Amino acid sequence: MKRITLFLMVVFFAVSVFAQDKADEAQKAITKKDYKKAFTLGKEILDSGNANDALGVFINLREVNYPDSKVYEYLGDAYAKMGVNELAIMNFEEAEKIDSLNIDLKFKNAQLMVKQKKYTDAINKYLNIVKIDPNNAAAYLEAATIMYQAKRYADAALLYEKYLDKDQTKDAYLKISRALLEIRNFEKVYSFGVAGLQKFPDEVQLLKNTAIAAYALKKYEDAAKYYSQVSDTLLTVNELENTARSFQMIKDETNSMKYFEKVVKADSSRSSIYMELANGFFRDKKYDEAAKYYEAKAKADSTNETAWRYLGFSYYQFKENADSNAANPNFKRNQLEKARVALLRSVALNDTNFTNRNFLIQVYTALDSTQALLNQHKEMLSLIGNRESEYKDQYISSNSALGYNAYDRKAYAAAIPYYLRLLKYKSDMSTLKILMSCYLQSGNNEEAINYARRILRIDPNDKDAKKVLRALSAD
């Protein structure tokens, strides 16, 4: 280690001595007015890294008006190496006056202007370069980069577009798509995004930018394709939702549901998504999954009648299977109870929905809850009111249930109004016989005789009707 250090010290000392010798030699040449030799030595000193001594040589040459434009350029180089950028720029400008077509010089000048935050001057310098050389891709790229960093996105996009005509790089496609997104020029974002992905198909940010543009343009198939190639961790919650909706628009319910679930997991406050999920599963008859999300929505918004209603419908339509029954022999009854609770909540929020009442009637029938079932039939008739022809089936069903229950309990007088309503739609023998029996048992012999005779007009040999007439001496 000591030997290496000693060697480096010797080399450094030798270089220093060489540079000093060159500087002394250049100064002697200037004294002798051998300016050409001094110029050559000054360049060698500058190239060796001794900017300070090189500066002295070129200042002297400038003072004597040495006729070479490179004097100003090398002065600029020396000042730049010393970090005196303002003086470097001044000398580069002087050099450009003499050699206005020197592109390399303009690049050096522009780069120093950027360091000095003279962005407008730098951009103008790059634009001057492309006037000289319209195919100079680097000048377009440098100018575009400045515009992009300054958040002048429209200008940046124009310059990146010019650059991409000459050279197609990944970074340029990324920057132009981002700049165009900022100014909401989705058509061009999409165009450059698709072009960029043909060259760089795995560039994730370009996939994402193109997906955003496709979604904004309602190109849902492309939006779904590009979004789904981006990792979930790189998508915002809004972008996850847009992915879900893209799949939804192209009728891909499986992927739509998958992304909606991701949205809800990422942000549980988006309760409207619960309904999207639930409705999708309900349409697919996946009632267990539908119930999960309807319940989540109902908990998030306890006044949402639709969520409670379809929660009840979902529980009612749960399918039994061997596993569920093995784990819980009361599985079906438990589901019916959950359906009952949900539907009652729905009815409490909206007691004018016929479908709710119908499902409640079915639930109570399955649960064999007689009194509760009868109460629902009464509510149904109250709900129908004088619109019996509009809701004929429900009207007949509820009157039949209530009438039969009263008849079965031997509450004959109570059964009569229900069967009289049924008679308007069902003047069959069974209804007529029950009415005859109810009137007979409740002591209204006149009506009993009336119905017995109506029965005999239909069937003159009916034994029950003849028996009633004989008993009442009306045969």
pLDDT digits (tens, 9 = 90+) for 49-100: 888 887 878 788 888 888 787 888 888 888 888 888 889 888 888 888 888 8
Residue 375 to residue 361: CA distance in whole angstroms: 9
Kindly report the pTM of this predicted structure: 0.66
The pLDDT-based confidence of 133 (bands split at 50, 70, 90) is very high
What lies within 8 Å, CB to CB, of 104 at 6+ separation is none
pLDDT at 346 over 70: yes
pLDDT at 11 over 80: no
Mean pLDDT for all residues in the chain: 87
Please tell me what DSSP assigns to residue 58: H
Quick one: which of 144, 99, 151 has its CA closest to 126? 144
> Residue 101 burial by CB count (10 A; 0-12/13-18/19+): exposed, middle or buried?
exposed
User: For residue 273, what are the CA distances in angstroms to 220, 244, 279?
Assistant: 19, 10, 10
Torsion, Cα 331 336 342 344, to 10 degrees, reads -150
Q: Which amino acid is at 296?
A: A
| pLDDT recorded at residue 7 | 40
Q: H helices then E strands: how many in the chain?
A: 27, 0
| pLDDT recorded at residue 323 | 54
In the chain, what are the domain boundaries?
427-475
Q: What percent of the chain has pLDDT over 70?
A: 94
pLDDT at 249 over 70: yes
- At 393, is the secondary structure helix, strand, or coil? helix
Quick one: which of 75, 82, 78 has its CA closest to 60? 75
Q: Which of 127-131, 277-281, 326-330 has the lowest mean pLDDT?
A: 326-330
Residue 93 to residue 105: CA distance in whole angstroms: 9
Please tell me what DSSP assigns to residue 235: S
Residue 220 to residue 146: CA distance in whole angstroms: 34
> Residue 323 burial by CB count (10 A; 0-12/13-18/19+): exposed, middle or buried?
exposed
pLDDT at 420 over 70: yes
Phi, psi of 219 (to 5 degrees): -90, 75
